[in-house]
Structure 1
């Protein structure tokens, strides 16, 4: 049995006597460390797994979408310095024919060779590889799972107007589709309505009328290769055939999404825990400062019997260290468990068959060191008053501070009308400035975090509504396999019932401003389009210019251009010269990143006159998808209503996220107000004892404390509104990516809910102190007034 020395025994008594305050600090530390450990471990688990997955499956460094190029031309690319491996393939989006003919399901057909060193090869989960000569298919497992497709099932696809029956012989995952998203506008994976199907090269080239040719090239680099030089050499080599789009690995849609998610996860892992630990440190400073004042005689006795100032100081620092070590240990253990749950939750979005949940015990040590250091520093600051106390001075009571008139006393018109208890409330708020400021800061932080949390669902909902109801207003977005003349689109009137229709051109180009480059789709629209509503960064309406180009805000930021600047439009089409266009405006776009031109001007300058690559349609026809299935030149049909329905499904997960964040934010406010109130009770025992002698009941004293905290709470919420808005403004910039722009302007309902939650948790903290007031021995406080 370990025998404790006297001063350590006193430490245990000190923890026991302040167990409720100690527990409140411990909870804050546990929550902070839990967030740090969970998010850090989840991020490192995901990052390590993705890196391993990419390496084992030969994830490509460069993706090139081309016109038809001969197989031999693709093979010659391996001669370019720095190129390690080249894989050619054929890829095309085609309709998947389901039993419900009015259901539009898009399936991306991709050819594979079955070579061991093939780039972006799939991981076979079930079944066997495809036969080179058969009509067999490998399906991405999320799509197969969503549609209940099993090995041995026959699926029907329509390629260039002809239907094919394919036997599913295997279920796979692929590093190119970790995040199974059709395009940048869909944002969320719709696993039942979009999938990927791998077929043999021989069958795919024949069915897609590209025998002996590829329309996509994948390239991997040698170690230390110059990427820009490789891209330039590849483009020169393929220029005669025509390149539609060049995408670097970091810009690849799925990889971009997961890397942005991991980046934000790492950012939150570094910021949120520090906030909780700093709050815990401030509470410890306040608590220990009060303990030192209360223990003046005890400190004097300890020094008189031989303990040095350093030993006595360490006695109080140990109190803080206990909280840091225990909080770090339990927080990291809980964090490891939460990390497993978070990683499993990510599997709903990301398809990673190799995902391993590993527990990095070094994070337990790091968490304990982090919390211990912050708590130890806080302990030294809070208990530094020990150094000033001498044994002789400790025998005398601490001299009271000289009284001063508070601000309200200088306003007699108000002061004279206040009751006795309200005057005491006012004096305590203004005289105990440190405590008031501490509680005020706690309320501001709580409200700010609550505002951020309650704003998220409304912000995401508003983003989707703005994009699909205000920015884009079509019912259907129909794309063709090959461009057609404008006059041809009238034939659609004979196939489906159309209320209104406009042709479009959508084609990828590279936009450049000096050394700033970005590959994007330029969309050509009618000058008076009814399907798009553009507004600039000043919220002013913008129309399609007859000449020039409009850029989405995130694209303009990447290129570092403003209205009036010139941008270079580089065409990948054979024998097509680069064009310089003036930026006529910068517009807001929530989802995706595009540039926009007047359709006739775009055709003349960048492609051919009088062509379209698709149409936008408004139609009340309930059987649009069924009627378009036989149309051979229809590539994809995107329904705005269906995309909105997918978003609504994912809102349930958003509600769970909001619930967690409300609890975390509430814990912060609860612990701050609770500890501050308990400390205030200890400091004002004599004052409250005197009030009891004067006839005040315990309930009346509690109401006085309630008034003080409520006044601070009201001011804190009012100050929290602008500070919360600043937090949201910062978050808007932090969470905005190339794929989506978030405008985190809080709604009125978000502000109201944040206010309700903040008030609720703070009132709960004050109710928790009522039992403490009832248990106070006011008469004993009067007897021991010298202490």
Structure 2
């Protein structure tokens, strides 16, 4: 026999269509965003590392002034490496644009064809996909190199150029003004002139080496080559090669941000489910009482009232996942593919995303409904019939001040609905946090870049491969070494640049360090991220020797370019067992005349502009999507919560119509009370939004090797209030129509 209660499901859906649609919008928007992003990020990461393995990405490279004899290569390979010729030629094309041309790779760093095909004849070339995109090239076009026209046969992705760095010393990528390409062996013979670079790639035969063993073997290989007469102009491991390793530190760095967004939306969904079920019980108390009186068990009633939320949740989850996996991946993939040269990826179902966006919300919804219904169903059928669902108290009504009648009435409405308005405040608060989360990211990035520029130590920071004497008044020597320290909040090690500076540095004059003082200054961001304090100790680990050092913190220094430690030069050299006069860097406010072969990195304040552009590119798409989803959630939440208040006052609104009040007068008494609460909630919640946002960003930026202060411009607070008010005014229009539809007959029904 079919359950007759099932017939009520359709009526319930029609009666509460607005409420269920609003809930569905929240769930569909958040599930689509989160499942789409997490699935895309995970799929790209999985296919990226799989491609690197299949295409045999190099473990390092070195270049020489001359071609290396085969017997020298054979001696070096006995150490446990395979070595391959990987010559290239840098050619100028267009305006200020460099194209690095290789011959087709067959044994190492094998190209992945993205579109078209690989070149076969002497007048054909295949170029990097990202470079082609940024310079409006496509297969079938032609490109002129050294006066010769080449047909572009396809676009490619090279595993050793996932990030397009022309020089390893560059701070940021140049995806428009630098690219890579391959030509056939026959075509490459045209580049055998003075511009040819004798570049070699090596690959470890033992694929199970750990980081330290890889570094040791690379160092041994380097010494072997030098001892056998090779004049090296460059030697770089894959770990130190930004073209290979840069993406690894960025890959998935914005996943924590999206997970924070996910946790907030899950909290909102739990909050909404709780409100809806409590409201449903209040509205249908007489029906529940009648069913209990007619012999229906508590289990049957519970299973009936839980069906519609489950149906809405499952339907929303299905639609959200379909949108997330089919519609949104193209937008999320653009976040990565607009910055990096990556192979193609296939979007796969993400188990973690499914749990976070589907399983957890369903479990929360079921749990909250069961708890709420179980507690309420302990009330007797008679009390349900009388709508007597609250605990009685002897508290007298609050005595109101001698305001005008309308003001007192509105205040009384607010007091009588204080529990509902408290829910409204919490809902507005959560919605505002999400909205501020999306709106605040871009200003924070801009502020962060400005801080980096202002706290720059010098116009130029030269990091050298080996000491080079410079006779320049502006040049000041320093030692720099990279340590690691454990970051508890992120449960991982973070890289820290340690500067050994001169006793009386003219570039860091605010620091008081001498060779007899073993203490260190921490950059302000590192101090805040680690939660350290002056007078405490901090442990650092040498990533190559695994030696552990414990140093005393004697102060902090305003330096925003990254995590840094500042100590006396002689003290650092002593710590590292270097000669006391050793150095590997220069501070200077002028460009120094140092040969490129001696330079590892040059950092200038102007590089920070590129950093800001890169961060904006990485976070941009997700920021805009967060804003859109936040506004949808914001409007839906406000609609649900304000509708519940009106529904609970429907009887009293009906009484007022019986007494001759017009719709406009009723609206001023009831809807304006809600308006006051909405505006007050928006304004009062602003400082709480900031506090909540602070902790959200701590979690969201846990993977970032840097520290960003929370910076929210005043205009964003105004924007939050404005968006909230505008959203409410839109919603209020529908509530006005609802008030008009409330019949006077409601007052004639026996409600007690």
> Shorter-chain TM-score: which interval?
0.7 to 0.9
- The alignment partner of 1:222 has SS state of coil
Residue matched to 1:346: 336
Within a 5 Å distance, the mapping from 1:596-635 to structure 2 comes to none
Matches of 1:561 and 1:401, distance apart in 2: 51
Q: CA, structure 1 residues 14+581, in 2 after alignment: closer, same or farther (shift >3 Å)?
A: closer
Q: Cα deviation per residue 1:714-769 (whole Å; 9 max; x = unaligned)?
A: 24542442343342344146415565432233222333323322333344333432
| 1:281 partnered with 2:254 | no
Query: Which residue of 1 is the match for residue 7 of structure 2?
Result: 9
- Written as runs of structure 1 = structure 2, the 5 A alignment for 1:635-714 is 644=609, 647=612, 657-703=622-668, 704-711=670-677, 713-714=679-680
CA deviation after TM superposition for structure 1 residue 322, in Å: 1.6
The CA deviation at 1:53 is 1.3
Cα distance change, pair 649–271 in 1 and its aligned pair in 2 (3 A): closer
Contact 2:535–2:554, Cα closer than 8 Å, also in 1? yes
Which of 23, 29, 33 is the equivalent residue of 2:31? 33
Could you list the runs of 5+ residues in structure 2 that have no partner in the other structure? 487-491
3-state DSSP of counterpart to 1:179: coil
Contact 1:603 1:610 in 2 (8 A): yes
Q: Comparing 286-295 with 546-555, which one deviates more in the overlay?
A: 546-555
How many angstroms apart in 2 are the aligned matches of 1:508 and 1:458? 32
Q: Structure 2 vs 1, CA of residues 725 and 77 (structure 1 numbering), >3 Å: closer, same or farther? A: farther
Deviations 1:565-593 (A, max 9, x none): 79999899xxxxx9999987654544456
State the match for 2:489 in structure 1.
none
- How do 1:79-118 residues align onto structure 2 when only pairs under 5 Å count? 79=78, 85-87=81-83, 97=92, 100=95, 103=96, 114-116=105-107, 118=108
State how far apart, in whole Å, the 1-side matches of 2:340 and 2:212 are.
Answer: 30
The separation in 2 between residues aligned to 1:346 and 1:274, in whole angstroms, is 24
1:294 aligned onto 2:283: yes
Query: Which range moved further: 442-451 or 632-641?
Result: 632-641
Change (3 A) 1:385 1:361: closer
Matches of 2:370 and 2:385 in 1, distance apart?
24
Within 2, Cα distance between the matches of 1:397 and 1:550? 67
Structure 1 pair 594/129, CA: closer, same or farther in 2 (3 Å)? farther
TM-score (norm 2): 0.76
| Aligned-residue offset at 1:328 | 0.9
* Greater mean deviation of Cα atoms: 229-238 or 628-637: 628-637
How many Å apart are 1:672 and its aligned residue? 2.3
Displacement of 1:98: 5.4
User: What SS does structure 1 have at the residue aligned with 2:377?
Assistant: helix
Matched position secondary structure for 1:750 = helix
Deviates more, 1:322-331 or 1:269-278: 269-278
DSSP-derived class of the 1:502 partner:
coil
**What is the CA–CA distance in structure 1 between the aligned matches of 2:247 and 2:119, rounded to whole Å?**
28
Task: Give CA-to-partner distance per residue, 1:411-448, whole Å, 9 cap, x none.
Answer: xxxx4232333334334434444323211111211222
Report the CA distance shift for 1:246/1:278 in structure 2 as closer, same or farther (over 3 A). Answer: same
**Cα distance, 1:342 vs. partner?**
1.7
Distance across 2 between alignment mates of 1:589 and 1:380: 53
Q: 1:23 offset after TM fit, Å?
A: 0.9
Whether 1:449 and 2:447 are equivalent positions in the alignment is: no
Q: Please tell me whether residue 764 in structure 1 is matched to residue 730 in structure 2.
A: yes
Distance 1:335 1:507, change over 3 A: same
**Alignment match, 2:219:** 235
Q: State the number of aligned residues.
A: 722
**Contact 1:732/1:742 (8 A) holds in 2:** no
* Matching residue within 178, 195, 199 for 1:194: 178
Q: Give, in whole Å, the separation in 2 of the partners of 1:682 and 1:245.
A: 74
Structure-1 residue corresponding to 2:313: 324
* Cα-to-partner distance string for 1:690-720 (whole Å, 9 max, x where unaligned): 3344554333333333334533542454244
Comparing 360-369 with 311-320, greater Cα deviation is found at: 360-369
Is the alpha carbon distance of 1:580 and 1:378 closer, same or farther for their aligned partners in structure 2, counting shifts above 3 Å? closer
Deviation at 1:688, TM superposition (A): 2.4
Is residue 387 of structure 1 aligned with residue 377 of structure 2?
Answer: yes
Matched residues in 2 for 1:253 and 1:352: separation? Answer: 15
Please say if residues 440 and 716 of structure 2, whose CA atoms lie closer than 8 Å, have aligned partners that are also in contact. yes
TM-score w.r.t. length of structure 1: 0.73
Separation of aligned partners in 1, 2:571 and 2:126: 43
Aligned partner of residue 195 in structure 1, secondary structure? strand
Partner of residue 50, structure 2: 52
Taking a change above 3 Å as real, the CA distance of residues 179 and 391 of structure 1, as seen in their structure-2 partners, is same
Task: Could you tell me which runs of 5 or more consecutive residues in structure 1 were left unpaired when the two chains were aligned.
Answer: 157-163, 410-414, 490-500, 535-540, 573-577
Deviation at 1:333, TM superposition (A): 1.4
Classify 1:149/1:611 alpha carbon distance in 2 versus 1 (closer, same or farther; 3 Å).
farther
The alignment's C-alpha RMSD in Å is 5.4
Distance in structure 2 (CA, Å) of the matches to 1:145 and 1:597? 46
State yes or no: 1:222 paired with 2:220: no
Distance 1:358 1:747, change over 3 A: same
Is residue 304–residue 391 contact of structure 1 (8 Å, CA) maintained in 2? yes
Cα distance in 2 for partners of 1:189, 1:29 equals 38
Do residues 420 (structure 1) and 405 (structure 2) align? yes
The verdict on how the C-alpha distance between 1:632 and 1:446 changes in structure 2, with shifts beyond 3 A counting, is closer
Tell whether the 8 Å contact from 1:502 to 1:526 is kept in structure 2 after alignment.
Answer: no
Deviation at 1:136, TM superposition (A): 11
Q: For residues 83-116 of structure 1, give each alpha carbon's deviation from its aligned partner in whole angstroms, at most 9, with x where no partner exists.
A: 5x44467899x9864565xx5x567x69779452
Contact 2:127 2:156 in 1 (8 A): yes
Q: How does 1:449-488 map to 2 (within 5 A)?
A: 449-471=434-456, 474=459, 485-487=469-471
